[in-house]
Amino acid sequence: MKRFVATARGRVQRVGYREHVYNETFERNISGYVMNLKNGEVEIIAEGSEKDLRDLINEINIIRRPIAVKSFTVRWEEATGEYTDFEIIRGDIQEEIFERIDYAGNVLHSMDMKLDQSLQISKENLQVGKENLQIGKENLQVGKENLQVGKENLQVGKENLQVGKENLQIGKENLQIGKENLQISKETKEEITGLRSDTKKHLADEFAEMRKELVSIKDALARAGIQV
């Protein structure tokens, strides 16, 4: 077991500092006391395990409105076991009343500041809420417009699909016509080829016949003594 004697200086009287020290001993096995001194400081004597005592120091050497510990001195000693629990040593009744009044005033001031801050935050949150609502309305309008555009695009897509089907049907018909024209071209080619063959044979026969007649005429003239 250890013991420390500490002196806190700064804004430590009439701000609820003794109650703060007292409350921080509740969950720690610490005995001793906290007391206001005539010079405006606060004295703390505490006994317990070294860990509990160091944790207590960390929690009471603070600047936390309205408390402001500007200086905190500690002297370590061996525990004496003279204290059974931890207590606040009060001053005379007038001093305690004034301290209570000052502390209450500080608490009210702190509450008033927190209320003002909360009100300001609420106003800012309300403004943000209004802006978010406006953005939501604008996004909804954009969504409606996009939906309308989507419907129009869908209608255009349906019309394009119908046109595509019609073009496909026309393409099929043109392909059929092309096949038919190709068949006609083949038949025409075959007819022309056949006609050329027949014409060539006919002309050959005609030339052969004419050659025979010329030979006969030439022979007849030769017999008649006419040289050609």
Q: Dump the DSSP string for 173-195.
A: HHHHHHHHHHHHHHHHHHHHHHH
Residue 28 lies in a domain: yes
Look at residues 53, 48, 64, 87 and name the one whose alpha carbon lies nearest to residue 12. Answer: 64
Q: Is 36 a catalytic residue?
A: yes
* 135, HSE (Cβ side, Cα atoms, 13 Å): 6
Residue 64: give its domain's CATH number: 3.30.70.100
Burial (Cβ within 10 Å: 0-12, 13-18, ≥19) of residue 36: buried
Residue 167 lies in a domain: no
Residue 223 lies in a domain: no
Q: So what's the pLDDT on residue 83?
A: 96
Looking at residue 108, its amino acid is: L
pTM: 0.48
Look at residues 204, 206, 184 and name the one whose alpha carbon lies nearest to residue 196. Answer: 204
Selecting among 11, 14, 18, 65, the annotated active-site residue is 18
Residue 75 lies in a domain: yes
Classified as helix, coil or strand, 62 is coil
Strands 86-89 and 31-36: parallel
Q: So what's the pLDDT on residue 58?
A: 97
Q: So what's the pLDDT on residue 129?
A: 75
Q: So what's the pLDDT on residue 104?
A: 67
Residue 16 lies in a domain: yes
Q: So what's the pLDDT on residue 84?
A: 94
Residue 209 lies in a domain: no
Query: What are the pLDDT digits (tens) for 55-82?
Result: 999 999 999 999 999 999 999 999 999 9
Q: So what's the pLDDT on residue 209?
A: 85
Both tokens of 46, joined, read 């505490």
The domain in which residue 80 lies consists of 2-90
Q: Is 23 a catalytic residue?
A: no
Both tokens of 91, joined, read 């001053």
Residue 54 lies in a domain: yes
Domain count within the chain: 1
State which residues of the chain have pLDDT below 70.
Answer: 94-95, 98-100, 102-116, 119, 228
Selecting among 3, 9, 14, 36, the annotated active-site residue is 36
Spatial strand order in the sheet of 67-78: 63-64, 67-78, 2-11, 42-48, 31-36, 86-89
Look at residues 83, 77, 60 and name the one whose alpha carbon lies nearest to residue 5. Answer: 77
